Chain A
Amino acid sequence: SQTIHQWPATLVQPVGSPLSLECTVEGTSNPNLYWYRQAAGRGLQLLFYSVGIGQISSEVPQNLSASRPQDRQFILSSKKLLLSDSGFYLCAWSGENEQYFGPGTRLTVT
Chain B
Amino acid sequence: KQEVTQIPAALSVPEGENLVLNCSFTDSAIYNLQWFRQDPGKGLTSLLLIQSSQREQTSGRLNASLDKSSGRSTLYIAASQPGDSATYLCAVRGWGQGFSFIFGKGTRLLVKP
CB of B41 closer than 8 Å to a CB of A? yes
Which single residue of chain B is at the shortest CB-CB distance from A32?
B98
Range, interface on chain A: 20 to 34
A42 to B106, CA, bound (A): 9
Q: Given known contacts A50-B98, A106-B41, is B34 in contact with A99 (CB within 8 Å)?
A: yes
The residue on B at minimum CB distance from A59 is: B97
Per DSSP, are chain A's interface residues mostly helix, strand or loop, or mixed?
strand
Instruction: Report the minimal beta-carbon distance from A1 to chain B, rounded to whole angstroms.
Output: 13
- Is the pair B44, A101 in contact by a Cβ cutoff of 8 Å? yes
> Are A34 and B100 in contact, with the CB atoms below 8 A?
yes
The residue in chain B whose Cβ has the minimal distance to the Cβ of A100 is: B46
Please state if B104 and A102 are interface contacts (CB–CB under 8 Å).
no
How many of chain B's residues touch chain A, expressed as a range?
20 to 34
When C-beta atoms are compared, the residue in chain A nearest to B44 turns out to be A101
Q: B residues 86-107 with Cβ under 8 Å of A? A: 89, 91, 93, 97-106
Q: Is the CB of A34 within 8 A of B34?
A: no
Contacting residue for A98 out of B46, B100, B103, B105, CB 8 A: B46
Closest Cβ of chain B: how far from A77's Cβ, in Å?
19
Are B34 and A98 in contact, CB atoms less than 8 angstroms apart? yes
Q: B32: which A residues are within 8 A, CB to CB? A: 97
A57 within 8 Å of B (CB atoms): yes
Please report which residues of chain A, range 18-52, place their CB below 8 angstroms from some CB of chain B when the two chains form the complex.
32, 34, 36, 42-44, 46, 49-51
Tell me, in angstroms, the Cα distance from A50 to B99 when the chains sit together.
Answer: 10
Nearest chain-B residue to A91 (Cβ)?
B43
